[in-house]
Structure formats: structure tokens, C-alpha cells
Amino acid sequence: MVEGILSKAFWVVYATVFAAATVVYGQQVPCYFIFGDSTFDSGNNNNLQSKAKVNYSPYGIDFPEGPTGRFTNGRTIADIIGELSGFRDFIPPFAGASPKQAHIGMNYASGGGGLRKETSKHLGGRISLRKQIQNHKKAIKKAKVPVQRLEQCLYTINIGSNDYINNYFMSELYNTSSLFDPNEYAYSLNRLYRTHLKRLHSLGARKIALFSISLIGCTPKMIVSHGGGQGCAKDVNAAVAIFNNNLKDLVNDFNKNFKGAEFTYVDIFSAGDPLAFARLGFKVGDKGCCTLSPGEELCVPNKPVCANRSEYLFWDDIHSSEATNKMAAIGSFYGPLGSPYSISQLVKQ
């Protein structure tokens, strides 16, 4: 994820807008809805029979409420975007939220969730994007949220990583890599994504920030499993790049052909300047901060973690640290990661 975040342009923007990013005057949109996978999940998997849940220490060690189900040590990218948009409280997970919360916002994201129905099935319970949108429909209908309000809300979506990590590049459990070449697979995912976005648009969503899949081939997990332990898995990143290019086209299609659509593409993939790691204070990018068991990607419960968490790009074997999340959130909110809009421009439209 991080090479895409820490580009030269990002470093310049981060350095110049950091002070502004810490001061927000008033809530800029009436509500905020969050969809996606573990990158954005804030606890929707906690009560599922699932291996993809982290409601235990040391997750949340730097979060005000402790372990909540967030797959990091502190805030997620979505949490920080909410703060930058002026929300006083974190948007709560759909699981357990009161009906009236739909007037303010809900987080539907789920660890292991994907575009394809079977994605991450080996992990047990998880909520696909299709089901997340169904949950959203139920929530806004039950709360009777006016369409005019929904059209002014902010929506963020981060989905697709699991369709590669926990599907296409897990050939011992899934057959998609034998059914599709990388171009065909990306196209099939794009078609699914388009269907889901049409449904969300029909429910009033207009201001949507669609996050690219990050450089998942450069996560500690994929470096070992598909990069031979010698560096980023190039085949993984190449396949993801095809998906991301299609996603850019999808954003342009919606903005051109769907009434009122103001979609933006958030690029957390594109390769950047390695020297930016040091400029931003990161020193460790090839392993996570927490204690891991051999072959596992999630932190061992209640075991020691690194003291210098702000210097680690990754929290566990695949998820980013709060420090990295902060970089991504600021870059997407103020630019230059967003196209054709930064999220700050989107919420002011």
C-alpha cells in the first residue's frame, strides 16, 4: 500500500497541508457511509463466526476505545477522513447501530469482504459488497432517510484486495486463476463493481470516493508467499494495476452517464519515491509491528508490539499502521491522490 502513498507529490502535499488537516470547522456533509474490507472495517465482523476479526489486544492499542475490530493499532483511513470532514464522533459499525444512526452515517465494511461472493470463504463469516449495500438499503429505509439528504452525503469504498489475496492468488483453494487470465479477471470484477455502484447510485449516493487496490504485492505477507521473500510480488501488483485502470474508467463512466454522479478515484497504488519513506519518518516497511505466529497474518493476542509504532508502515503482516493510514487519509482528502476531485473538494460540491 505504501509505495503508492509515499510519492514525491504526496510528500509535498502532506508537508504543506498537515497543519490544516488537524483543524476542521464544522461538519461538511450531513452524513458519511463507509463500505469495504478490513482496511475500513470498524467491528462488523466481531459477532460473526470468522477468522477475519480482531476485537482483541493488541489491535486498538492506540485507539481511544481500545480493541473494537479495527485491523490496525489506531484509526483507519475512513476514521480519519471522517474527522477531516468535521464529524465529531467516529462513524459506528452497522452491526449494533441504532436505526436513527442512518441519518448521520454507518460503516458497513467487513474484513474479508470482496466483490465476488466466494472471496475469503475459507475465513468463515464476512460481508461482501453486495450484502453491504443491501444492509445500507435496509438501514436508510427503516430510518426513512430522505433521498435529498442521501444525495449530499459522502460515501467511501475500499474493496477488491481480497478478490486477489483471498481468491485469485490462492489457487490451492480457488479456481479463478485457472478460469481467467489477469485481464479477464479484472474485467469480471469491474462488471460486478459497476452493478453494485448502479445499485448504490439508485439509493441516492452521488458523492463517492472509490479507493484503488493498493500495492498488495508489497505487503509482508505477499512478499513471502509470492515474492520469494526477495521483494514485492510483481505478478500480483501487475494484476492489481489492471483492476485499478479499469476502476478509473468506471469512475469516468459514472460521472459522464449517471445523473448527479460526482465520483472520484483515490490512487493509493502508483509507485513512488523510496526516499519518501525516510522523509516521513518510516523506517520499517518489510514486516509488521506486532507479534506474529509463523504463517499467520494477524497479531497474536496479548503479545508484545514494537515501541516505535509511528516508524512502521505495517501493523501486522498485511494491514497498515495508523501512521500509514494517516498519510493515506490526508493524501486522499486534500490531494493529490484523488481524481478528478480530492475528497475535500467532493464534500464541498
Of the candidates 114, 134, 126, 132, the residue with the CA atom closest to the CA atom of residue 48: 126
Query: What are the backbone dihedrals phi and psi of residue 121, each rounded to the nearest 5 degrees, phi first?
Result: -60, -25
Q: Do residues 263 and 247 make contact, with C-beta atoms less than 8 angstroms apart?
A: no
pLDDT band at 4 (very low <50, low <70, confident <90, very high): very low
H or E element in which residue 330 lies: helix 322-334
Angle (deg, nearest 10), helices 182-202 and 129-143: 0
Burial class of residue 54, CB neighbours in 10 A (0-12, 13-18, 19+): buried
Q: Write out pLDDT tens, residues 172-217.
A: 999 999 999 999 999 999 999 999 999 999 999 999 999 999 999 9
C-alpha cell recorded at residue 171: 489457487
Q: Write out pLDDT tens, residues 63-111.
A: 999 999 999 999 999 999 999 999 999 999 999 999 999 999 999 999 9
Q: Give the chain's length.
A: 349
pLDDT given at position 85: 97
- What is the distance between the alpha carbons of residues 239 and 159, in angstroms, rounded to a whole number? 15
pLDDT at 157 over 90: yes
Q: Which residues pair with 33 in a beta bridge?
A: 155
C-alpha dihedral over 120, 323, 34, 14, to 10 degrees?
-130
Q: Do residues 190 and 250 make contact, with C-beta atoms less than 8 angstroms apart?
A: yes
CB-based contacts of 140: which residues, under 8 Å, 6+ apart?
Answer: 102, 150, 203, 204
Q: Which residues pair with 292 in a beta bridge?
A: 299
Parse the chain into domains and list their residue ranges: 2-348
**Of 232 and 349, more confident:** 232
pLDDT given at position 230: 80
The sign of the CA dihedral 11, 13, 18, 21 is negative
Q: Residues 230-241: what's their mean pLDDT?
A: 92
Distance, C-alpha 237 to centroid of its chain: 17
Q: Helix, strand or coil for residue 214?
A: coil
pLDDT given at position 15: 52
- How many CA atoms lie less than 13 Å away from 258 in the CB half-sphere? 24
- What is the distance between the alpha carbons of residues 119 and 243, in angstroms, rounded to a whole number? 16
- Fold of the domain spanning 2-348: Rossmann fold (3.40.50)
- What is the distance between the alpha carbons of residues 145 and 175, in angstroms, rounded to a whole number? 42
Q: Write out pLDDT tens, residues 129-152.
A: 999 999 999 999 999 999 999 999
Lowest mean pLDDT among 9-13, 27-31, 259-263: 9-13
pLDDT at 255 over 70: yes
pLDDT given at position 25: 63
What positions carry a catalytic annotation? Answer: 38, 316, 319
Q: Write out pLDDT tens, residues 299-340.
A: 999 999 999 999 999 999 999 999 999 989 999 999 888 999
- In degrees, rounded to 5, the angle at the alpha carbon of residue 198 between the alpha carbons of residues 114 and 239 is 40
pLDDT band at 270 (very low <50, low <70, confident <90, very high): confident
pLDDT given at position 31: 98
Q: Write out pLDDT tens, residues 18-72.
A: 545 555 568 999 999 999 999 999 999 999 999 999 999 999 999 999 999 999 9
Of the candidates 265, 238, 267, 237, the residue with the CA atom closest to the CA atom of residue 249: 265
Q: Give whole-number Cα distances, 18 to 14, 180, 224, in Å.
A: 6, 43, 34
pLDDT given at position 5: 42
H or E element in which residue 20 lies: helix 8-21
C-alpha cell recorded at residue 93: 459499525
Q: Helix, strand or coil for residue 43?
A: coil
- What is the distance between the alpha carbons of residues 52 and 127, in angstroms, rounded to a whole number? 11
